[in-house]
Structure 1
């Protein structure tokens, strides 16, 4: 029977030696003691047991929970019960990946303070209740109570008479307004204050490149994903359909 030291066992599993000592102290591993030198010696059964411990730790079980599990003949009941939490973790990781991809896509080709012509897909919008729009801004806490998240985009749309209406994204069938698929003139600017943003909007609408636009309706929203791609910038996107 092959016997290995705690250092060799740690190397085999790419673990720090103190972790092996911790598992021994907790009674999860029970090495033999070499009578000649007093060193701990682990056999093949210990290698299997450590794999089991590491596997259960990776799932999310605590040391105490693992100790209780290993007292029974089978860990299957706990493994079956862990599937839902594993699925939750997978969904969280997928959401994180989607956010990372969105940040990269939104930031990769962005040009600040320049008009870019970008094709947009249909965007279904739902008018926000006036109770959550205060002093020209969305009350994020009240929006959260209505089911919106901190990464949701809110659209401030000014019509020909500069009357502002605020929308959030909605599902098809519950929309109050649709921003149709097509080419939009887009300008990304850094938000510093309301006065500066008003000047940016006025300058944008007066740009000769917008002479071919279908109207003066302007779409304004905080570009959250692009902002997350910078260290210290809050970006606002201005859009006009062409």
Structure 2
């Protein structure tokens, strides 16, 4: 079996030695063993793991999320689904036979992006209102407006959260089943920008399920 030092591994993937050392420090790419002279030694299995890490990183996932995915039993399936969402046109992911297929995929991505942007914009506006109410209270000594704004903020937060979870579905990496989780299950689950750890109502396995725009899809709501 081939073995590689930190420098050789870094050169193979055109990354810096510090990057490999950083991944080691974060616990997502540990060397297979340390040589007698103190060098970190990596094997072909580590090469495959680094390749997966870099793919997930290129998809925009933070290292914490990458570590969670690598620790799951279906890390490769999760990667496939992420690539399918990001690169549906690639032949090794899915066959796109018609213009309608491409249009549907692009529409889904745009709609999901709109949901995210709407939440960010509304959230920022609410933050401005809260800060304005706080400043008014400090300067004028009148706290009633601030209290009313905070009450409205709580109501708004509940509404925007429900709006978000009603706008998205999730695809199970194990059985490729699309579903919508109950609000409580989705709200308290571990998640990253692309996926959420949920129990699939079809195969009943708990995995990082990929987020997609719900649209008018008729899907099962998880128990």
Q: Same fold (TM over 0.5)?
A: no
TM-score range, shorter chain: 0.3 to 0.5
Q: Which has the larger radius of gyration?
A: 1
Highest RCO, 1 vs 2 (Cα 8 Å, sep ≥ 6)? 1
More helix as a share of residues: 2
Structure 2 length normalisation: TM-score? 0.36
